Structure 1
Amino acid sequence: MSIPLFDLTRQNDALMDELLATAERVLRSGRYIMGDEIDGLEAEAAQALGSVNSLAVSSGTDAILLALMAAGIGPGDEVILPDFTFFATGGCVARTGARPVFVDVCPYSYNLLPEAVEAAITEKTRAIIPVHLFGQSADMSRLMPIAQKHGLRVIEDCAQSIGAKHHGDYVGSIGDYGAISFFPTKNLGGFGDGGLVLASDPIDFGRAKIMRVHGMEPKYYHPETGGNFRMDAIQAALLRIKLPHLSSYNAGRQANAEYYLKTFGENPQVFSPTEDTATATQPEARLILPLTYSHNEVTWNQFTVRIPGEGARESFRNHLQEHEIGTEIYYPLPLSQQKCFERYSPDACPTAAMVADECVSLPIFPELTSDEREKVAEAVLSWLNQ
């Protein structure tokens, strides 16, 4: 039995008749850009995600970029973000002409350290981008007061965390802007690229809405330079079919994560961090589980563990590959070590580098069967007990 890291066909096959009928309806409508499908998705997503305003855009990357542009970030500005995240977070900052400032992360939740953020603030700092990595909220209850104290904008990177909560609030509705991705492997996966910008403040939202269409308001008049960040109508229509199932998709991932945490946590070779784990001290363990905070509702876009020790991660992945189990490394290199960011002379972030050297993700997609889940666990435990 081969178990992939994810299988998109299982989820989409269950809705295929409805998806095909919807695609045909949009194709026959002759309306492929903006229109009722976009309006419908935006209204339904706003209701589902606790945000007053929702803007459908062309990708998760463009959602971050548009939020930065709408927030007025540009040359001469600095934006603080975690060193351990997908490239788009830092790449979008650089594309505005601002300087990305990379700071270190928690070794167990993999999210931004608030104390590192405060230490990195200068007179040029204009914004913070907390990334809710792998489906768990960053520490917004500590980050927001820091931002308010220094007059900084907060752009939440929710690309991997649609539906996640922090102290009961949906991620993306806490800061000034939220950026969501509908890349096919996300918890709410589309059929190509797509994204969403969330904004609670109507002025912020109105600015983003204008900048989505080349900074145009009214038609053919451009007070600002925006971009073409529109979502295709067919993508919106298909996402509207899947959106009502988001809660069940997330529940499936949560059940799989709970099984892994319990099953692996009982093994003496495994370290299970707790909320009072306060340092990056390397524990004596062959596998380190992710830390989940009790005040967070985690949606588990990935289930990422750490495998410390020289050559251990390669051994672990090879062992799972022999058992026909898919794995992936998110992410093998911190942003501060990417060649394109050398010109910023970034400070070293040792914990981010350590996590990048040790992390590996296991299958957790919601359609994973109990037999498949058990096979993954058996293979992991057999490696631990070698």
Structure 2
Amino acid sequence: MALDATLQRVLQRNWFVLGEEVREFEREFAAWCGVAHCVTVANGTDALELALRALDVQPGGEVLCAANAGFYASAAALAMGAVPGYVDVDDGTLTLSPAALRQALAARPSKPAAVVATHLYGQLADVEGIAAVCAEAGVPWIEDCAQAHGAERGGRKAGSFAPLACFSFYPTKNLGALGDGGAVTSPDARLADRVRALRQYGWSAKYHVSERGGRNSRLDELQAAVLRLKLGHLERQNAERRAIARRYSEAFEGLALRLPVSCGADNAVHLYVVRTAQRETLRAHLLARGVASDVHYPVPDHQQAVLAASRAGVRLPVTEAACASVLSLPCFPGMREEEVDTVIAAVRAFRGQEHGQEARAC
């Protein structure tokens, strides 16, 4: 009924693009993230591209990112004519490694245009380390928070660490709309104003174009109203995700699986991902017992067909090993106790687990 009333409120107002609902959601989400500014856009990939444009990344400029995060940062870079470059990830968190980033920066004859750090599966990256490396090199960076709504460290939420941070509100995200949607957050009014202009044709005022690279990338009023309603439930739903993750990790302790390094506040648990060399065998075993699973993500960016020829010499051992072994188990708000029990029993019954003691509880 709350959703019906929310949608009716928008319909009765008869204003559907960039109106009161968008303005209020931007204000509320900025406050929730702990930043001064939020600019909504049409989707998460647009958020990344417009953030790169706001940083003055030019065609041909290099954008460093992780290669195990679904090609989204790569797609944004390619869409604006930039060149994605790849940095290996930390073996524990599977997020961008500050040490690998420092090495990558030192090996380049010129500075890249920007760095994108993805909080993968909901796990907050080493933002302090990444920020320090980027500051030393004089390279701007962006947080990709598409899977990390509400992950926090030291009282600061994802989206409040970098000059610009990007969110997706795709329906399956921790904070999801009824369709596509995205946002860019920033502590910097100038950068936020640039994104605001770029999302609507590059306008500084109606029909006055001041920014190159502008487009139509606007969140509509219906989606903004839904997001306002759902934002009020996000903390509780993230707590549900973490509780399920802790049950899994406790139940899987001692099995030949690599488990998430954290089920705490720094992980919004968008996905609960284990690693195993027997992934396909385990998937088949789970499916036979009525348990769905998925792989996020099976092909590293530098090995995707669109880039494989030009990245033939790229070697990212941690990334490549992760893409060959990750497996996502069911974990979502509203999941019933008996459903969690079914997943646990199915994983523990897998005979391929008999050897090895890799798993540790969060």
TM-score above 0.5, yes or no: yes
Name the residue aligned to 2:146: 159
Match of 1:171 in 2: 158
| Matched-pair contact (CA < 8 Å) for 1:140–1:166 | no
- Out of 360, 369, 381, the position equivalent to 2:327 is 360
1:182 to partner: Cα distance: 0.7
Q: Which residue of 2 aligns with 1:288?
A: 258
For residues 110 and 168 of structure 1, the distance between their equivalents in structure 2, rounded to whole angstroms, comes to 22
Q: Residue 39 of structure 1: CA displacement?
A: 0.4
Task: Please name the residue that 2:80 is paired with.
Answer: 96
TM-score by length of structure 1 reads: 0.87
Of 74, 85, 90, the residue aligned with 1:106 is 90
Corresponding residue of 2:293: 327
Residue in structure 2 matched with residue 5 of structure 1 by the alignment:
none
How much has 1:178 moved relative to structure 2? Answer: 0.6
State the match for 2:118 in structure 1: 131
Partner residue, 2:358: none
Structure 2: 5+ residue runs without aligned partners? 355-362
- Match of 1:205? 192
Corresponding residue SS for 1:204: helix
The alpha-carbon deviation at position 49 of structure 1 amounts to 1.1
Q: What is aligned with 1:13?
A: none
Q: Deviations over 1:102-128 (max 9, x none)?
A: 111123311111111112123141211
Distance 2:281 2:37 in 1: 47
Which residue type is aligned with residue 271 of structure 2?
Answer: Q
Moved over 3 A (4+): none
Does 1:140 pair with 2:127?
yes
Letter of the structure 1 residue corresponding to residue 181 of structure 2: G
Q: Map 1:1-386; keep pairs closer than 5 Å.
A: 17-121=1-105, 122=108, 123-225=110-212, 226-265=214-253, 267=254, 270=255, 286-292=256-262, 297-308=266-277, 312-342=278-308, 344-345=310-311, 347-384=314-351
Counterpart residue identity of residue 367, structure 1: G
Q: CA deviation at 1:344?
A: 4.0
| Partners of 1:108 and 1:289 within 8 A in 2 | no
Q: Distance in 1 between matches of 2:303 and 2:186?
A: 32
Q: Distance in 1 between matches of 2:230 and 2:262?
A: 27
In structure 1, C-alpha distance between the alignment counterparts of 2:242 and 2:279, rounded to whole Å: 25
Q: Distance in 1 between matches of 2:53 and 2:203?
A: 14
1-structure distance, mates of 2:82, 2:310: 10
Q: Offset of 1:343 from its aligned partner?
A: 5.5
Counting aligned pairs with the same residue, the percent is 35
Counterparts of 1:344 and 1:72 in 2: how far apart (Å)?
25
Contact 1:71 1:153 in 2 (8 A): yes
Q: Distance in 1 between matches of 2:159 and 2:39?
A: 12
Bigger drift between 298-307 and 167-176 goes to 167-176
Secondary structure (helix, strand or coil) at the match of 1:341 reads coil
Distance 2:60 2:340 in 1: 49
SS state of the match for residue 294, structure 2? coil
Tell me the SS of whatever aligns to 2:118: coil
TM-score relative to the length of structure 2: 0.93
Q: Hey, what's the Cα distance between the residues in 2 that align with 1:33 and 1:128? A: 32
Query: How far, CA to CA, are the matches of 2:309 and 2:208 in structure 1?
Result: 37
CA RMSD of aligned residues (A): 1.5
Q: What amino acid is the match of 1:44?
A: E
Gap runs ≥5 in structure 1: 1-16, 271-285
Q: Which amino acid aligns with 1:74?
A: Q
Q: Secondary structure at the match of 1:39?
A: helix
Could you tell me how far 1:63 is from its partner in structure 2?
Answer: 0.9
Q: Cα offset for 1:246?
A: 0.5
Counterpart of 1:339 in 2: which secondary structure? coil
What CA deviation, in whole Å up to 9, does each residue of 1:117-150 have, x standing for no partner?
1121231412110000000111111111111111
